[in-house]
Structure 1
């Protein structure tokens, strides 16, 4: 494999692993630990701040995924020359990006506002919405990894 495609694939996989792995860590480790150890007045600001930091990384990862993926697609000769699994990965990835943008610009700002005024029930409701959407995105991310690794043989 020439150097440029190898570098692009590395960056693409690194960004995907950060995003999907980060969602798994948040969903299965950080949030349950926060629920088990912190009362809402501490837990909800903690989770809002944690999400704020994670979302910066996700935004960067999305940029890297789009740039590296489209560049690899161009190097492969365009959509007409790639396997159907590449089309499927792009389609699912775009859905994931749309879900992220929804979370980032709808329930997350509501969570921040509720935390700022110490409206714990509203903050908890918005965090619950975020949790469900992250779980959906996590499942979609796992599906993209499956498409990337198994899709070629189907």
Structure 2
């Protein structure tokens, strides 16, 4: 059986990869690609970068859920965890659904448009991904805030 600190380490590493990766892609990689590359170079770069990130994020998402649920079990189950844990679960579910939209809907559209060299369609698909990542990044920051402040709220 895994100890709580080990589960927490897995959880934190996985959430850092997921949320931090979105931040780097959204705030650094894409803007740099926009100012340095024309669409025929930028869109294939972003499609391949996102394909690789989504694959890694799939592992992170599974690790987040497995470690999070295991920590709840180690703590005594849903009936005894503090309220902020329930909120983290709800936000995590929303993040997972948004991730699924990126991975299974928006990214395949981007990849297909890039393969056809249909740059306008690829641009639309990338804009959709950017919007979804913006939402997920906001949710991720909210989860971090709830995780850090939740015990304070529960003590009131």
Q: TM-score range by the shorter chain?
A: over 0.9
Other structure's SS at 2:79 match: helix
* Equivalent pairs, count: 152
1:148 is aligned to 147
Cα deviation code 1:68-122 (max 9, x no counterpart): 0111100111111000000000110011000000111111111111000100000
2:103 is aligned to 104
Cα RMSD between the aligned structures?
0.8
Alignment of 1:1-154 (within 5 A): 4-154=3-153
In structure 2, runs of 5+ residues without a counterpart are: none
Q: Provide the rounded CA distance (Å) in 2 between the counterparts of 1:128 and 1:102.
A: 13
Other structure's SS at 1:36 match: helix
Cα deviation code 1:47-87 (max 9, x no counterpart): 00000110111000011001101111001111110000000
Instruction: Give the TM-score normalised by the residue count of structure 2.
Output: 0.96
In structure 1, runs of 5+ residues without a counterpart are: none
Runs of 4+ more than 4 Å apart: none
Q: Provide the rounded CA distance (Å) in 2 between the counterparts of 1:102 and 1:136.
A: 12
Instruction: Give the TM-score normalised by the residue count of structure 1.
Output: 0.97
Q: Provide the rounded CA distance (Å) in 2 between the counterparts of 1:110 and 1:19.
A: 22
Q: Provide the rounded CA distance (Å) in 1 between the counterparts of 2:148 and 2:46.
A: 33
